[in-house]
Structure 1
Amino acid sequence: MTTGVIDPRYGDPSATPPPWGVIERFLMDAQLYWIITVRADGRPHAVPLVGVWQDGAFAFCTGPDEQKQRNLDANPHVAVTTGSTGANGWNRGKDVVVEGTAVRVTDAEALRTLATAWFAKYGDDWEFAVRGQEFVEISDSGASTEGGARVYRVAPHKVIAFGDGHGQTTYRF
């Protein structure tokens, strides 16, 4: 069981750290995330994206020609963030940062499981089939479209949760 540790420099040391299950549920329920990758020249690159939290890790997909794919080719270390939409502020809301290494998912069964999770979470807007080692979108006619997306899984090395009266709580894995 992962236990959070409150950083007394940035929070109330007498507060109780949120249980990991609460933070994990927050990650599962989020609709939008931001991923920060590092370009080959060291500059950061941040973009919003959808994804799923499943089996203790964040999963996302990217096209083979996208900037984040080129960045992952050079450096697989990423940060993924999400927060309380509409409630973001200094004394309210919650923000979570997941730090880890993006590892490509190529196993067909794992890809099918993730495609099912995407559909369960986002519905027809993000319906994928698996072709080879990639996701392909399902068109309105039910056919899979051209071009594929590579799927990655980010198991956390560290998760930092901010807000809800505890300040900053860190979970290490």
Structure 2
Amino acid sequence: MTSTDTDPRYGDPDAPATPWTEARRKFAEAEVYWLSTVRPDGRPHVTPLIAVWHDEAVHLCTGQDERKARNVAENPNVVVTTGDNALHGGLDLVVEGTAERVTDPGALAALAAAWEAKYGPDWHLDVVEGGFANPHGVALVFRVEPVTAFGFGKDPYSQTRWRF
């Protein structure tokens, strides 16, 4: 991380910056995330999914023919969000970055283990060439390393920005 700053316009001017270690922990512990991509015609696309935080990046997967995979193929710039979905209390998080395919078998095996450790045996994933086994083909795996991230605290209200 290269910098952390707060913007007092979006909260209590005396609110301290949220430490990246706290934001990273909350991001890793979240169960549901929202992925925002851009369709080839420029319209936005947002969808909920599960993901894991591993090796200082968020990792997600999607079927090779799904809209999000097709969008990322055209424009790999994405936003991944998660949070507490409450007005008072908690921390909402936004990670901006570039979705990069993960194809290395060792990395895929480590990620499959991370998914199962986090979500349980219902999310056992078998590694195949190019991703995870999927009944409809291959599930592509993407790594999104943060370029910029935001934390929106709600007790007190605050906005922290981290640049990497």
Hey, what does 1:168 align to over in structure 2?
A: 159
Hey, what does 2:38 align to over in structure 1?
A: 38
Which aligned pairs between 1:49-88 and structure 2 lie closer than 5 A? 49-85=49-85, 88=86
Contact 1:118 1:127 in 2 (8 A): yes
**Which of these residues, 137, 142, 149, is aligned with residue 139 of structure 2?**
149
Give secondary structure in 2 for the equivalent of 1:128.
coil
Letter in 1 for 2:104: D
Deviations 1:19-49 (A, max 9, x none): 1110000001000000000000100000000
| Greater share of residues in strand | 2
Give me the whole-angstrom Cα distance separating, in 2, the residues matched to 1:125 and 1:118: 10
Give me the whole-angstrom Cα distance separating, in 2, the residues matched to 1:107 and 1:120: 20
User: Shift of residue 146 of structure 1?
Assistant: 5.9
User: Shift of residue 147 of structure 1?
Assistant: 2.2
> How much is the aligned-residue C-alpha RMSD, in angstroms?
1.5
**Which of these residues, 95, 115, 129, is aligned with residue 112 of structure 2?**
115
Hey, what does 2:122 align to over in structure 1?
A: 125
Note the residue ranges of structure 2 that are not aligned, 5 or more in a row.
none
Give secondary structure in 2 for the equivalent of 1:118.
helix
Please give the TM-score of this superposition, normalised by the length of structure 1: 0.89
Hey, what does 1:158 align to over in structure 2?
A: 148
Letter in 1 for 2:146: P
Note the residue ranges of structure 1 that are not aligned, 5 or more in a row.
138-144
User: Shift of residue 12 of structure 1?
Assistant: 2.4
Identical positions, percent? 52
Contact 2:63 2:136 in 1 (8 A): no
Give me the whole-angstrom Cα distance separating, in 1, the residues matched to 2:121 and 2:140: 19
Give me the whole-angstrom Cα distance separating, in 2, the residues matched to 1:3 and 1:97: 16
Runs of 4 or more above 3 Å deviation: none
User: Shift of residue 4 of structure 1?
Assistant: 2.6
Deviations 1:135-165 (A, max 9, x none): 115xxxxxxx562200000000001000131
How many aligned positions are there?
163
- Report whether the alignment pairs 1:25 with 2:34: no
Contact 1:3 1:19 in 2 (8 A): no
Contact 1:6 1:12 in 2 (8 A): no
Letter in 2 for 1:120: A
